Amino acid sequence: MPVMQQLDRAECMELLAGNRFGRLAVTGGAAAPSIRPVNYAFDEASQSLVFRTTEGSKLQALLNSSRAAFEIDEVDPATGTGWSVIVLGVTEVISNPTERRRLEKLGLESWAPGSKPHWVRIRAWTVSGRRIVQAK
């Protein structure tokens, strides 16, 4: 029988640091939320998530709302186990050239083709997670 466990902030941050792919959710005013897959990096120095994007609806929605939700997870369908981490935070476009050069060293690579000149940060204000394990 499965059991749900709450993850503490430290466990959540460790999972965020150990992964590179998640889902970004933003709203653009009265419109329905937009959810997009993104490659990201965890920036230990600022305890935040960073990703790159191009001009378009995702960036515009971030600029309009300045808030976002971000989720990562892992599921094992064979065992019915897995975990999920959700981050709620404030977003900001990173324009400082020194900061952008520092972030370049994180090795972030986007799977999606095309130029991604804009760096965006999500400051992890609220972080929550849970794990589903098989009871012993």
Report the pLDDT value the prediction gives residue 69, as an integer from 0 to 100: 93
DSSP track, 48-86: EEEEEE-SSHHHHHHHHH-EEEEEEEEEETTTTEEEEEE
What lies within 8 Å, CB to CB, of 95 at 6+ separation is none
Q: Taking all residues of the chain, what is their mean pLDDT, rounded to a whole number? A: 89
Closest CA to 45 of 4, 106, 86, 126: 106
Residue 76 has pLDDT above 90, yes or no: yes
Over range 104-115, report the average pLDDT. 88
What lies within 8 Å, CB to CB, of 34 at 6+ separation is 25, 26, 27, 28, 57, 58, 61
What lies within 8 Å, CB to CB, of 37 at 6+ separation is 21, 22, 23, 24
Residue 84 has pLDDT above 80, yes or no: yes
User: What domain count does the chain have?
Assistant: 1
Of the listed ranges 14-23, 33-42, 56-65, 116-125, the one predicted with least confidence:
56-65
What band does 111 get if pLDDT is binned at 50, 70 and 90?
confident
Residue 40, domain CATH: 2.30.110.10
Cut 0.85: pTM above it: yes
Task: Find the domain containing 122 and state its range.
Answer: 2-134
